[in-house]
Structure 1
Amino acid sequence: MPQTNDTNRQESARYDSTRRAWEDIWDGANVAVELDAVQYRRAQATLNAYLPYLNRDDLILEAGSGLSAVVIEMKRMGYEVIGLDYAENALHVSRDYEPGLKLVAGDVHKLPFAENSLGAYLSFGVLEHFEHGMQPGLLEAYRILKPGGVLVLTIPYPNIVWRLAQWKRQRAGQQLINEDFYESTYSRKALVANVEQAGFDLIKAIPTSHSFTFWGLGGPFQAEGYYQTSFMAELFGDLSQIAAPWLFNFMTLIIASKPGKTQAAPSTH
């Protein structure tokens, strides 16, 4: 059924309010703190999972780069990375911190790059924030990637803790969706289906960040610091990753490629 004008207006309003929410978030954030978070064990595990699929000689885009912590980290590792975000204030803060960054203001649904021009597209917790779904963003990623180019994507997973929280909110008669800040989760099946529908060939779907699921329970699972997990959260995360990897993961990491030339086998770092 085609969308009504009222539905389109509602989605447009939510889109704008989500953008404003991120601008507010980045106004209150700190690049140095974000860089410290990139060194967290869960972040490094994700980084090490996808880095072998990236080519240092290709231009890599992080779409929705925020305060550019990943851009800065990868630049220091010798990768050629450009960051893009629609929250321009985040780009100004990033460049003030590290003036040599390649950054551009733009929308993930209308990227300012030519077809078949980039070697990799990175997206970390971005495409779940759009009420119209992830297809428009994925199709743009497909358009700008070279044949054989790599898609790296992380999306929140509806793990058992999240489902329990949603059930409790529903029982209490509370809204399940924030009016100003849209966010969704995707099951492994739904996420893979979206990626393949956009034309990509799946390489890997990896459950990640199990310790952060436990962080969300609070108390002994939280350590002092910015979203820092405790020893207990790390322990429970390790155990759940072994015993029930698709029950307690906070994020799903997708590595996929645009059909074309054969993707080189992963290298070791």
Structure 2
Amino acid sequence: MSHKKVYINRRLAFYGAPGASSQFWGNHWENQDWRAWLDGSKSGALGHPEELFARYLPKEGRILEAGCGLGQIVVALRARGYDAEGVEFSEKTVSMVKQYLGECPIQVGDVRNLDYPDNHFSAYISLGVMEHFEQGPEPILKEAYRVLRDSGYALISVPRIHSIRKVKTWLGFYSGAPAGDFYQYAFEGGDFEDILRKEGFSVEHRHYYGSVKGIKDEVALFNFFYKRNRISPEMLDRIERSRLLNRLASHMVLFVARKRL
């Protein structure tokens, strides 16, 4: 997937077909090995970032994943004894998951207008969702704040402008005008933290992950060898696990935020 990137107001905007529509995500998930992913989740396999889930998600009280995709995290959390449910805006995705799993607590919904009462959830999860809204994450965060109980945790991840992207910004790689449909933003860390605080959250922890993607998407030579399988799985794993490389060049940052009283 190739996108034109334009630096606008402390954000790196990605443009170009396909845009992040409901139809796009339905087709995207359908073309993955989604049955195997869900089967793995039934055993409670969470993958990354499992340690943060264990540390911050309460065993008591409801947990919402807003923008849950296939619902693997919801399924895995429930297998571990959490009272988790999910909301996903792709009707196609929700339909095929329910047909495969039968009863599954995910439903079609809009993360900007959740069909839940105030203070309903003890924790809120949003991984790689808020960046896909061109108007920005504020409407989603307002809803997250509304449905969270006082002092509840929100685990929110978004793409970031890491060190390589900062250098490329200074060198003018991301200048020009938008072209095509909007896909997503990558945020400067301070920008997203400012938004979180403005919407009533305090930031308690930051976790950086996705260094392989962060590098291959911005360094042409690395991507050349990556696409041709010239980098060993062992080396990719070392890059992915490296704290230094994740701090410098991870594609994603996960904020552990807490609803202020």
Work out whether 1:104 is the aligned partner of 2:94.
no
Pick which of 64-73 and 44-53 moved more. 44-53
Work out whether 1:92 is the aligned partner of 2:99.
no
Work out whether 1:157 is the aligned partner of 2:146.
no
Post-superposition shift, 1:219? 4.8
Match of 2:24 in 1: 21
The DSSP-based 3-state class of the residue aligned with 2:157 is strand
Matching of residues 164-179 of structure 1 within 5 Å: 170=174, 179=180
> Which runs of no fewer than 5 residues in structure 2 stay unpaired?
1-16
Does the CA-based 8 Å contact 1:21-1:180 persist in structure 2? no
TM-score, normalised to structure 1, is 0.75
The DSSP-based 3-state class of the residue aligned with 2:23 is helix
Render the CA deviation track for 1:109-143: whole Å, top value 9, x for unaligned: 00000001111110010000011100110000000
Task: Choose between structure 1 and 2: higher strand proportion.
Answer: 2
Please tell me the residue identity of whatever aligns with 1:192. E
Does the CA-based 8 Å contact 2:125-2:156 persist in structure 1? yes
Change (3 A) 1:259 1:154: same
Render the CA deviation track for 1:187-219: whole Å, top value 9, x for unaligned: 211111111111012111222222332454435
Does the CA-based 8 Å contact 2:134-2:182 persist in structure 1? no
The DSSP-based 3-state class of the residue aligned with 1:97 is helix
Match of 2:130 in 1: 127
Determine the C-alpha separation between the residues in 2 that align with 1:131 and 1:107: 15
Determine the C-alpha separation between the residues in 2 that align with 1:178 and 1:74: 40
Match of 1:8 in 2: none
The DSSP-based 3-state class of the residue aligned with 1:203 is strand
Post-superposition shift, 1:99? 1.7
Match of 1:81 in 2: 84
Render the CA deviation track for 1:59-104: whole Å, top value 9, x for unaligned: 1111001111111111111111111011011111211222231011
Please tell me the residue identity of whatever aligns with 2:190. K
Does the CA-based 8 Å contact 1:26-1:67 persist in structure 2? yes
Determine the C-alpha separation between the residues in 1 that align with 2:151 and 2:191: 23
Please tell me the residue identity of whatever aligns with 2:27. D
Post-superposition shift, 1:168? 8.3
The DSSP-based 3-state class of the residue aligned with 1:119 is strand
Match of 1:10 in 2: none
Post-superposition shift, 1:255? 0.6
TM-score, normalised to structure 2, is 0.77
Does the CA-based 8 Å contact 1:188-1:205 persist in structure 2? no
Task: Choose between structure 1 and 2: higher helix proportion.
Answer: 1
Determine the C-alpha separation between the residues in 2 that align with 1:104 and 1:230: 37
Aligned residues: 234
Change (3 A) 1:162 1:222: farther
Determine the C-alpha separation between the residues in 2 that align with 1:251 and 1:150: 19
Does the CA-based 8 Å contact 2:215-2:250 persist in structure 1? no
Matching of residues 191-202 of structure 1 within 5 Å: 191-202=192-203
Please tell me the residue identity of whatever aligns with 2:188. S
Change (3 A) 1:238 1:57: closer
